[in-house]
Structure 1
């Protein structure tokens, strides 16, 4: 028999782990779980006063609902993203002055000349493409993916400030006291409308923040996602974590199952990687992030077969192939444009190395469908 989401939230609280990763398919209750967890840890009451300090900082679909468009249907020129004020946006903009850092983070996720501009009250933001002179494109309505990047950038910069503040051991020496009661950070699926390059970068950024959060500051992190790629990057970046799979049962209850080992054992992630690479090769749409997936596939195969280094599985001139893969998969290339897009020859390398893996190791031959 399954559990209610409140019971699962209580299980997560009782685990007392610094990091808990949860994979679940869409419509499995991830967002409702984040709400149930918040209500369990920090229920809303009418007695909250001006000195109230939250115990849970969360990012979910309700966070995105704080931002909504005024499309200027009459004039069709003054398009702006409006910000519904609450404690979350007040902390980010009015109290901590994170607007400049948000702009920098947003441009890193999108493009350097796509510029947000806040009004003085931080109640709305407009976007324009700067052209290197005093001219710009005027107010743009950005894409859904860019909007998600912007909202995530706000949360990311706030979380970065939270961790920096909480890492100061002496409470009296902290820049602000508004995070002193914070116990949990709950991040629910921040990957909607993101392409794979930005998704990988976002996962690496999240992992870096968590690793920077000192154990002595007491913060605990719960992250849910429907994306195998996002889950897997976090799984491999974070050494100490507990992983689960959340399922919604037919009777409307839920099941949270702990998954030990790598994400292949959790939900056949290696098959997902293989399929993604095969589809990109067939469509001749190899991009930089496919080298990351290829490396991930080699790492998983080497771990399963007991090889100490994934490069030992490479054919021929192993150092040459390893250098090529590393060039496209280092963290620096995930967050910058310093490495050019793959050339036709480099794209062919992806096919060659995938074929080599499938044709030479029984780990993959056993997964192949029988004729």
Structure 2
């Protein structure tokens, strides 16, 4: 049944789960869901009470809006060296004051260098309002201030959030509130994390997922987590590290989808296999929907070819055409007609005829029915 993001946020809020893990393709609405969830936990009216209930008291969240709080001051006109500034607001002022007062800048640097380079060094200003970066060469010389890449910047921002989360959990694990080094986290109920770092290589992405799962497992029972991601690998590692694959568990594991009318659905994800999230299954579903609706277009031949290529690569065939039915050359020519760019400007390729549209169905059915790879997928997604 279709739902609004607000309704899905309510389902997540009302669920009695320590961790809720959600997979969704990019552009589906993960970031907007995090905002809707935050508004449910701390409605705007609560912040107007006396004393105000600030959102950070009940929920911490990491998403694209978190990254937007950091921006570069290049000041090229005055030939100043680049620096990463932190947008001042009630949240960043609180965050940076906490990390500064607890002496956490060293941990931020350590986490950041672990995922990038031990020579790439952040330097916080005295008031933590800006950061410069240098490349330490190991001979008491540095490169001067550098502007780091977008991927490195994302890693740095995640390192700040991860350091905060680590501090939250270690603080909350002190049984007696009066013995804690800060009382700032006493009322915290939820942590919402949307796609932490998309620029990591697979090894570091796995390590990040393992480390995050370790923090979650070490956290107090009354602190709950919602994690969304577009990465099958990140999802799968978290699923296994958090023990969601034990005893046939499926509660708290979801697939978020966006429907044609702009509404959404949240389907329970069974099992720990990430294969049903992979791009190849998305291609198959797109083709099946077009065939069922009688809406096969030229670009569906490109998707079909892509699907054959991925299957051939997985099964070890040197050419994707080896998977085609008996009259391989004829079928390959037909696919190539719709997937190759014209070499002359006055050439045009007509839209598929009804017979050619039927060819898409025939070749898709052939691929699914004749290769154990797809038959295994059928069994795992059933």
The TM-score normalised by the length of structure 2 is 0.69
1:165 and 2:171 equivalent? yes
Q: Relative to 1, partners in 2 of residues 1:194 and 1:264: Cα closer, same or farther, differing over 3 Å?
A: closer
Provide, for residues 262-291 of structure 1, a one-character-per-residue CA deviation record: whole Å limited to 9, x for no partner.
Answer: 23474358989x959958x99xxxxxxxxx
Aligned equivalent of 1:46:
48
1:234 and 2:244 equivalent? no
Q: Relative to 1, partners in 2 of residues 1:365 and 1:85: Cα closer, same or farther, differing over 3 Å?
A: closer
> What is the aligned counterpart of 1:209 among 209, 212, 215?
215
Q: What is the rounded CA distance, in whole Å, between the counterparts of 1:122 and 1:277 in structure 2?
A: 52
Q: Relative to 1, partners in 2 of residues 1:263 and 1:79: Cα closer, same or farther, differing over 3 Å?
A: same
Report the alpha carbon displacement of residue 90 of structure 1 after superposing the two structures with TM.
Answer: 3.4
1:176 and 2:179 equivalent? no
Q: What is the rounded CA distance, in whole Å, between the counterparts of 1:214 and 1:221 in structure 2?
A: 11
Q: Relative to 1, partners in 2 of residues 1:269 and 1:263: Cα closer, same or farther, differing over 3 Å?
A: farther
Alignment check: 8 A CA contact 2:191 2:225 kept = yes
Q: What is the rounded CA distance, in whole Å, between the counterparts of 1:253 and 1:37 in structure 2?
A: 16
Secondary structure in 2 matching 1:54:
helix
1:56 and 2:55 equivalent? no
Q: What is the rounded CA distance, in whole Å, between the counterparts of 2:375 and 2:265 in structure 1?
A: 30
Q: Relative to 1, partners in 2 of residues 1:71 and 1:25: Cα closer, same or farther, differing over 3 Å?
A: same
1:260 and 2:264 equivalent? no
Q: What is the rounded CA distance, in whole Å, between the counterparts of 2:372 and 2:91 in structure 1?
A: 48
- Please list every run of 5 or more consecutive structure 1 residues that lacks an aligned counterpart in the other structure: 283-361
Q: Relative to 1, partners in 2 of residues 1:49 and 1:99: Cα closer, same or farther, differing over 3 Å?
A: farther
Report the alpha carbon displacement of residue 166 of structure 1 after superposing the two structures with TM.
Answer: 1.1
RMSD of aligned Cα (Å): 2.9
Secondary structure in 1 matching 2:253:
strand
1:121 and 2:127 equivalent? yes
Aligned equivalent of 2:147:
141
Q: What is the rounded CA distance, in whole Å, between the counterparts of 2:61 and 2:53 in structure 1?
A: 19
Aligned equivalent of 1:37:
37
1:84 and 2:90 equivalent? no
Alignment check: 8 A CA contact 2:235 2:274 kept = no
Report the alpha carbon displacement of residue 42 of structure 1 after superposing the two structures with TM.
Answer: 1.0
Q: What is the rounded CA distance, in whole Å, between the counterparts of 1:50 and 1:366 in structure 2?
A: 57
Q: Relative to 1, partners in 2 of residues 1:51 and 1:2: Cα closer, same or farther, differing over 3 Å?
A: closer
Alignment check: 8 A CA contact 1:24 1:224 kept = yes
1:200 and 2:206 equivalent? yes
Q: What is the rounded CA distance, in whole Å, between the counterparts of 2:220 and 2:50 in structure 1?
A: 29
1:244 and 2:254 equivalent? yes
Report the alpha carbon displacement of residue 104 of structure 1 after superposing the two structures with TM.
Answer: 0.8
> Between Structure 1 and Structure 2, whose CA radius of gyration is higher?
2
> What is the aligned counterpart of 1:111 among 88, 99, 117?
117
Report the alpha carbon displacement of residue 89 of structure 1 after superposing the two structures with TM.
Answer: 3.2
1:225 and 2:229 equivalent? yes
Alignment check: 8 A CA contact 1:259 1:265 kept = no
Report the alpha carbon displacement of residue 201 of structure 1 after superposing the two structures with TM.
Answer: 1.8
Report the alpha carbon displacement of residue 51 of structure 1 after superposing the two structures with TM.
Answer: 7.9
> What is the aligned counterpart of 1:73 among 76, 83, 89?
76
- Please list every run of 5 or more consecutive structure 2 residues that lacks an aligned counterpart in the other structure: 245-250, 283-308, 318-370, 378-382
Report the alpha carbon displacement of residue 184 of structure 1 after superposing the two structures with TM.
Answer: 0.3
Q: Relative to 1, partners in 2 of residues 1:49 and 1:83: Cα closer, same or farther, differing over 3 Å?
A: farther
Secondary structure in 2 matching 1:69:
strand
Report the alpha carbon displacement of residue 199 of structure 1 after superposing the two structures with TM.
Answer: 1.6
Q: What is the rounded CA distance, in whole Å, between the counterparts of 1:366 and 1:211 in structure 2?
A: 36
Secondary structure in 1 matching 2:197:
coil
